[in-house]
């Protein structure tokens, strides 16, 4: 099975290591940063067009993280987790599907999942699936799971943080090719970047942050650590 190590927070540069993320860190960091926030602090946001990083409140950041951990994992690796097709339903999959037909914009149904403990409970489910993937499959299996998708400027930007596992397709420059090793590190970095955004929203409100986050993965890029408040590359197609 693939190795995991809580001390390893970034994809090792050598493919010989084959260590995968310790996803439980995400739960620990989110709980630490949000457990004492008031509703007003949780819901603070700014929808100004030039402040993309502030569009989603702390609460919405957690909701998106829960959505991402569930929807990404089912879509990308459901065939590995549930080969018999018996897929659990912690959320209504049709309402939360990825793409333009989704009822909610990359978040959980706010009418059902609003309070932070309820959102973290769903995030826990998604993290448990991610843990299952990396503990029940070998690194060779993860690397053999290849996929090519239509690329975006965002993905082209963030895959520069990976030493392997994702690249612009050599056959079609508008597509991104990646394996499951790369995908699973990307989702760890994605979740981590939203924890960092929660910290930035707290700092903007004059609140103290609780965790010293590692500057790894997407957080090496200025748009996601907060070296700049300019909008980063968007989801427009390559």
Q: Strand pairing partners for 147?
A: 178
Determine contact, residues 219/54, Cβ cutoff 8 Å: no
- Regarding pTM above 0.95, the answer is yes
Model confidence at 53: pLDDT above 90: yes
Residues making up the chain, counted from first to last: 238
Give the mean pLDDT of 48-53: 96
Model confidence at 125: pLDDT above 90: yes
Determine contact, residues 233/156, Cβ cutoff 8 Å: yes
**CB atoms closer than 10 angstroms to residue 8:** 15
pLDDT tens digits, 100-113 = 888 999 999 999 99
To the nearest 10°, report the CA torsion of 179, 119, 228, 184: -10
Predicted pLDDT at 182? 98
pLDDT tens digits, 9-32 = 999 999 999 999 999 999 999 999
**Mean predicted lDDT score pLDDT of the chain:** 97
pLDDT band at 98 (very low <50, low <70, confident <90, very high): confident
pLDDT tens digits, 126-180 = 999 999 999 999 999 999 999 999 999 999 999 999 999 999 999 999 999 999 9
Tell me which long-range contacts 53-58 makes (C-beta under 8 A, separation of at least 24): 53/197, 53/200, 53/223, 53/226, 53/229, 53/231, 54/201, 54/204, 56/197, 57/201, 58/33, 58/34, 58/198, 58/201, 58/202
């Amino acid at each position: 099975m693939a190795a995991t190590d809580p001390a390893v927070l970034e994809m090792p540069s050598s493919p010989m290591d084959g260590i995968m993320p310790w996803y439980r860190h995400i739960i620990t960091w989110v709980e630490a940063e949000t457990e004492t926030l008031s509703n007003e602090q949780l819901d603070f946001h700014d929808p100004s067009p030039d402040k993309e990083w502030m569009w989603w409140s702390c609460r919405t950041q957690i909701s998106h993280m829960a959505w991402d951990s569930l929807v990404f994992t089912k879509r990308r690796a459901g065939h590995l987790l549930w080969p018999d097709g018996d897929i659990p339903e912690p959320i209504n999959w049709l309402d939360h599907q990825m793409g333009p037909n989704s009822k909610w914009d990359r978040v959980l149904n706010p009418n059902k999942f609003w309070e932070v403990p309820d959102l973290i409970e769903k995030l826990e489910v998604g993290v448990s699936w991610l843990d299952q993937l990396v503990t029940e499959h070998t690194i060779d299996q993860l690397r053999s799971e290849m996929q090519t998708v239509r690329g975006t400027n965002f993905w082209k930007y963030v895959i520069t943080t990976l030493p392997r596992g994702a690249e612009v397709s050599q056959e079609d420059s508008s597509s991104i090719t990646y394996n499951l090793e790369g995908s699973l590190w990307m989702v760890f970095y994605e979740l981590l970047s939203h924890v960092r955004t929660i910290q930035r929203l707290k700092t903007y409100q004059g609140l103290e942050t609780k965790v010293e986050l590692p500057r790894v993965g997407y957080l090496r890029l200025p748009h996601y650590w907060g070296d700049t408040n300019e909008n980063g590359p968007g989801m427009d197609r390559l």
